[in-house]
């Protein structure tokens, strides 16, 4: 009986030592990773927050003014390295993507310009698989990490077939996410950012779909009021 008790004591002691060493050496585990304090990517006034590359597909529905989806990837995020998982640095290796859904509220013609106003939402995603511009939904296949309302103004040069865009996004929700060895969060509820984009309209080969275009640009923080 005494020998049995001694064996139990040794087992307990061994377990305690292992627990101590695990804590002392900082051995990672999924539970510990989830407990990391998130690093909030602050959206300071006029501070460059991110850069994007994307495409747009416009639709005539719903009538009478139609709607638009805009999708792509984040090519730069302030203070964050490793924004791509490998090479080439494009949509197939982008780790953060976005998807915007907006309805057109007003269209004004002014000389060669068509001025389009839209309202809707933008969602940032932590990407889960390679995105593909021929499959728009692939840019929202990941985990949502930020949602914002968006007010959009598009100025289309109907002669040159180019356009410029200014978006004002106000964050309605933001969640932290694990990114390599850190837990990040992009902004906070109520914060806002302004996106400036430049684009060119084109028609995809092999058909005549709704007007579509390529664009790229950047976003900066907007001062809280």
- The reported pLDDT for the residue numbered 76 is 98
Spatial distance between the Cα atoms of 32 and 124, rounded to a whole number of angstroms: 25
- The reported pLDDT for the residue numbered 224 is 74
Q: Tell me the per-residue pLDDT of 65-76, one tens digit each, with 9 for 90 and over.
A: 999 999 999 999
The stretches in the chain having pLDDT less than 70 are 1-37, 203-211, 225
- The reported pLDDT for the residue numbered 26 is 37
Q: How many CA atoms lie within 13 A of 219 on its CB side?
A: 30
Q: How far is CA 159 from CA 155, 198, 207, in A?
A: 12, 16, 22
Question: Euclidean distance between the first and final Cα of the chain, in Å?
Answer: 75
Spatial distance between the Cα atoms of 104 and 166, rounded to a whole number of angstroms: 14
- The reported pLDDT for the residue numbered 32 is 42
């Amino acid at each position: 009986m005494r020998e049995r008790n001694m064996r139990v004591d040794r087992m307990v002691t061994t377990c305690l030592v292992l627990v101590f060493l695990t804590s002392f050496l900082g051995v990672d585990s999924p539970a510990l990773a989830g407990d990391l304090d998130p690093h909030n990517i602050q959206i300071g006034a006029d501070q460059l927050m991110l850069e994007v590359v994307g495409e747009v597909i416009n639709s005539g529905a719903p009538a009478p003014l139609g709607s638009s989806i805009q999708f792509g990837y984040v090519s730069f995020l302030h203070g964050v390295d490793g924004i791509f998982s490998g090479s080439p640095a494009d949509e197939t290796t982008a780790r953060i993507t976005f998807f915007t859904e907006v309805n057109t509220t007003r269209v004004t013609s002014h000389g060669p310009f068509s001025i389009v106003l839209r309202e809707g939402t933008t969602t940032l995603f932590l990407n889960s698989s390679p995105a593909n511009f021929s499959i728009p939904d692939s840019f929202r296949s990941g985990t949502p990490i930020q949602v914002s309302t968006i007010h959009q103004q598009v100025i289309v040069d109907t002669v040159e077939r180019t356009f410029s865009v200014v978006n004002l996004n106000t964050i309605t929700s933001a969640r932290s996410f694990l990114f390599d060895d850190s837990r990040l969060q992009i902004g906070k509820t109520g914060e806002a950012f302004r996106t400036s984009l430049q684009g060119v309209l084109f028609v995809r080969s092999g058909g005549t779909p709704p007007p579509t275009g390529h664009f790229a640009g950047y976003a900066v923080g907007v001062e809280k009021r």
